[in-house]
Structure 1
């Protein structure tokens, strides 16, 4: 007796992207590539799997990501601890060090793809999600911090997104953070009675993260805590002021959020988030900042760096809410045919049209004209090219427009010689 195989479903928090939805992804990815290219950023690709110690060292052992969220396992072949990347920066810095990228000059680089965190799935947050990651490696000045923020402003404008606001802070340098940390720990100890279990655990290991609490019972305490911004020295303030001046030059407004610390240990000086109220609890669309100590921390020669990451699912959600138009058609031209000879000619003409840069579907197999036109219309094609015995005898295709054109004088159907088909359709489609 044959046993029925139980249907397999996708893992919790890991989402399939089907063809209709994928069109939006492809459109966004194309926009992002053009946008990054306009600022001189080049693509870089790193492995999904890295040594666990890379993230423990780079992100910080007492961060939520390392303590709770990483997908880690022991490689059975060599007993190594490996982790599926929970973010891009540590891996990109590792590659920069390994391949001596900063030996001769700084680099502007970007990556795009899946990252993995074992979180509670909810709107805008999945266990496999996707990021656009941008890094400026080897640049020290506030001009580059501002460039990254300004270019993000351009992306939102390109995508037609208006309800995203910028929040900024400065985390200063190590000595300034140390002085603030001492003051903050004293403040937390005085208010220990209002701290939840998580805050009490972090009070001495990562006190800055306590200020990022969402617990309503702790908000008054957090609001009254010493501000790191007040501990900044003249150089750190000058760096922050330099960023702000360039943002003012570009007409980009921001809010100073002195409780903004980001969730990773490697940040210093400028940190920022672009946030929205339109995605519920998961309101951060993009976050980043400067991490001048990370390259040295991971074994490289000291070098400055700054970067950011965008959550693609959240950005796509915003684009959908804003009714950003996305090209959903499967093709530009749909080839309709009747008879074996016509089908062969349709395949040949389709190759010529593709050589001309058009997207073409040739109807597969036989079918009535009615059925083929229904499929052509469903494909989103602008035009159907029709071939049957009469067209083959005349050496011309019948061309039927399925969608309105910009030219009001364009006939709904016309005849075009095979030799002119590519030229004519390139001009009109």
Structure 2
């Protein structure tokens, strides 16, 4: 929730917001949930402060209110460079990164814990590889809050990204395994992170390239610092040669990346438009089918009425036959549920009138049914036409996505190259 979202709130004076922050910090021990390596403040406890800060004009040296509050929390808990404050939907997390010594063994990347042991823990606490889903649920927050290209340059990224990703996975491990064994926590986190590391870096690279394709100035500035030559940025900071090299050792620069991204964006836009058109066809097809179902139901209702009229007609005709065959001038006849005595001739005229009314109603219903059946048939023609269009469009889109656009491979090549370059320390 960034400061430009809550426009409906009146802007809060920064001094007043600062007092709210100081008050929040002074009472934080009353609301914070503490584990050895992970503290958590429930968002319900922090919501009022978050709302206040979201409506406050934060000094320009902070990217957002989160960075301002992160600084205050860092001061309060004396956080070090590798510790992390993360803002999630359910709360504010403070993650401590504890340095441990790796054992000099074949399994040193997992803190000396054997593969079989880690695999057993993984199957016990993360069945069906649910850790992957949880990692990629947290990753956007890490990218926004910690590894944001709008806030850091490539050099800073390389310094912090591993610790940030390990912290992210450790949050998941701590919440699942309920252990204080830091060696096990770190080893398990390394183990899980290695299994998704390439995809994580591709996600980060894709985020940068996506924003660059959408003319994000900061994304362009970030990418411009990758070069085969030494670069001095606007702040006078030197950046050593750090080219974006693909698997063929080809260096990608801003010009070639921009050209590819423009073509790739156009290709994706074309596919998006085809998907939209296909969705509209499907929507229209479903509407026709729904109309047809409604018409069929209406026909069914009309035919039920027609059957009831047939029963009434049969009953009337039997009564008419009985009365016409009567030999007396007075006859008994049930009218309105009550048996009465009627003059025969006027009663015959009355029954004949009722018979005519039923025939008239039956004919009217018959015409309605015929009209409805014609409409159903016409709807079926529409359904056939749009079903064919939908299948053709679906097949076309499937072939396009299967074959891909020529720029897809180039884009994937750039994305992999950027991910690899970002991961290189």
TM-score normalised according to structure 2 size: 0.23
Mark the structure with the bigger radius of gyration: 2
Which structure carries more strand by proportion? Answer: 1
TM-score by structure 1 length? 0.23
